[in-house]
Amino acid sequence: MKPKLLPQKLFEFQDEHEKLIFDQHQAALFLLRSSEDKDAGFMKVYEDTCDDLKSWIVCSYSDMTGTVIEKLSGIWNLKAEDMPMLVGYIPRQNKVMSAQESIKDVPLADLTQENIT
């Protein structure tokens, strides 16, 4: 059976994506943000950046609801009150990195592809 492929553009992380990312050892970026931030300026910057990165990293976003993301949040020690936050997952090293500063605290002009990657 051929494995299901992940979306090639920015997508909302759902429980069914767990195996596609973690079992297939996919590097991934997760933008964790509240549903109220769906139209925030940083979402457009993230979307544009992910469009440029789609050939080598999976990009998703989530409002931290759902069984899998709640489980990952506990494992990765992430808290909803710290949203929005950018989290990177590197499977070969089983490494998780998150931005130390809230994206909301960064001026929109400073949110560029170079700063995200």
Encode pLDDT of 8-61 as tens digits.
688 999 999 998 888 888 889 999 999 999 998 889 888 888 888 877 788 999
For residues 47 and 61, is the Cβ–Cβ distance under 8 A? no
User: For residue 2, what pLDDT is reported?
Assistant: 43
CATH classification code of 11-116? 3.40.30.10
User: For residue 42, what pLDDT is reported?
Assistant: 86
What percent of the chain lies above the pLDDT cut of 90?
23
Per the model's pLDDT, the better-predicted residue between 2 and 87 turns out to be: 87
> Can you tell me the distance from the alpha carbon of 77 to that of 92, in angstroms, rounded to the nearest whole number?
20
Amino acid letter at 36? E
Q: Is 113 helix (H, G, I), strand (E, B) or coil?
A: helix
User: For residue 6, what pLDDT is reported?
Assistant: 65
Band (82; pLDDT cuts 50, 70, 90)? confident
Which of 62, 53, 54, 82 lies closest to 13 in space, CA to CA? 62
Cis ω before 84 (30° cut-off from 0): yes
Element (H, E) at 89: strand 85-90
> Can you tell me the distance from the alpha carbon of 117 to that of 111, in angstroms, rounded to the nearest whole number?
10
Q: Which DSSP state fits 21?
A: I
For residues 20 and 6, is the Cβ–Cβ distance under 8 A? yes
Residue ranges of the domains in the chain? 11-116
